[in-house]
């Protein structure tokens, strides 16, 4: 403890979490990280004196599963930290940068299990597994604290999370796709890399049997195009 001064990473976490008027569900501290730098620069160099504080609110009426701090919350945290930082420290306060993905899981239920209930449990479990507040792979005995920064979303991890759901005999297949801001599928991929302040914002589907194509689930599958052929018209002659 450094008498209400921001010296260590633990100081940043504890003091940020105690910001008056900010109900925070998660605080992460990234030393030597500058969120204003490009992704390429952040990957190859450190920024001495920079400390980035990531805050995730406990609740968000606009996005319950993937909350983001409002400008007022970010300003309250920054204002609270400013007089407590060292003169040589440059502090940045940010919310998560969500990466939109679609996850499709196909499962086979145990005999005697109602498939619709098992599918719903799988969907809920995978959505919770990818949560920024409660999800993430955790060691035995450790409570998940939200999807870890820098941790990619992999097909194998989704399969493991779905397999643990009661009533699942086995996972038939998992498909993951990244999505643009305009809601168009970019590509299917076995894993989605996360860097910096990025965390997944997943739309999760579960079905019995084979996993459906993410593009089809969002209604963005290939549509037949109507071909047009020019037909000459003969003008009537007198």
pLDDT digit string (tens) for 189-237?
A: 999 999 999 999 999 999 999 999 998 888 765 443 344 445 555 556 6
Report the C-alpha gap between 88 and 151 in whole angstroms.
30
Task: Pull the structure tokens for residue 161.
Answer: 């999370």
Buried b (16+ CB within 10 A) or exposed e, 51-79: bbbbbbbeebeeeebbbbbeeebbebbbe
- Do residues 30 and 51 lie in contact, with contact meaning Cβ atoms separated by under 8 Å? yes
- Do residues 174 and 211 lie in contact, with contact meaning Cβ atoms separated by under 8 Å? yes
Task: Pull the structure tokens for residue 170.
Answer: 């086995």
CA dihedral (127, 188, 222, 99) positive or negative: positive
- pLDDT at res. 222: 43
Residue 185 has pLDDT above 80, yes or no: no
- pLDDT at res. 223: 40
Q: Kindly report the pTM of this predicted structure.
A: 0.83
Q: For the chain, how many residues are written?
A: 238
**Residue % of the chain over a pLDDT of 90:** 67
Segment 111-120 mean pLDDT: 96
Task: Pull the structure tokens for residue 95.
Answer: 């919310």
Within 15-96, strands assigned E span 24-31, 50-57, 90-94
3-state secondary structure of 45: coil
3-state secondary structure of 196: coil
Eight-class DSSP state of 84:
G
Top pLDDT among 143 and 80 is at 80
Instruction: Report pLDDT digits (tens) over 37-91.
Output: 877 676 667 888 999 999 999 999 888 889 999 999 999 999 999 999 989 999 9
């Amino acid at each position: 403890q450094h008498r209400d001064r921001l010296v260590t990473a633990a100081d940043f976490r504890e003091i940020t979490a105690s910001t008056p008027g900010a109900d925070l569900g998660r605080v992460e501290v990234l030393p030597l990280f500058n969120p204003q730098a490009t992704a390429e620069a952040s990957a190859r160099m450190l920024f001495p004196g920079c400390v980035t504080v990531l805050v995730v609110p406990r609740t968000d009426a606009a996005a319950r599963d993937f909350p983001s701090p409002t400008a007022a919350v970010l300003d309250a945290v920054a204002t609270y930290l400013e007089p407590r930082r060292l003169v040589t420290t440059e502090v940045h306060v940010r919310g998560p940068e969500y990466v939109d993905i679609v996850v499709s899981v196909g499962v086979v239920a145990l005999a005697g299990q109602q498939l619709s209930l098992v599918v719903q449990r799988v969907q809920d479990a995978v959505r919770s597994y990818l949560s920024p507040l409660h999800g993430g792979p955790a060691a035995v005995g450790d409570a998940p604290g939200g999807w870890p920064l820098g941790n990619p979303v992999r097909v194998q991890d989704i399969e493991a999370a779905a397999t643990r759901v009661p009533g699942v005999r086995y996972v038939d297949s998992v498909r993951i796709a990244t999505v643009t801001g305009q809601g168009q599928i970019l590509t299917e991929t076995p894993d989605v890399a996360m860097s910096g302040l990025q965390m997944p914002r997943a739309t999760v589907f579960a079905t019995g049997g084979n996993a459906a194509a993410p593009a089809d689930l969002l209604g963005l599958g290939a549509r037949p195009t109507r071909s047009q052929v020019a037909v000459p018209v003969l003008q009537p002659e007198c």
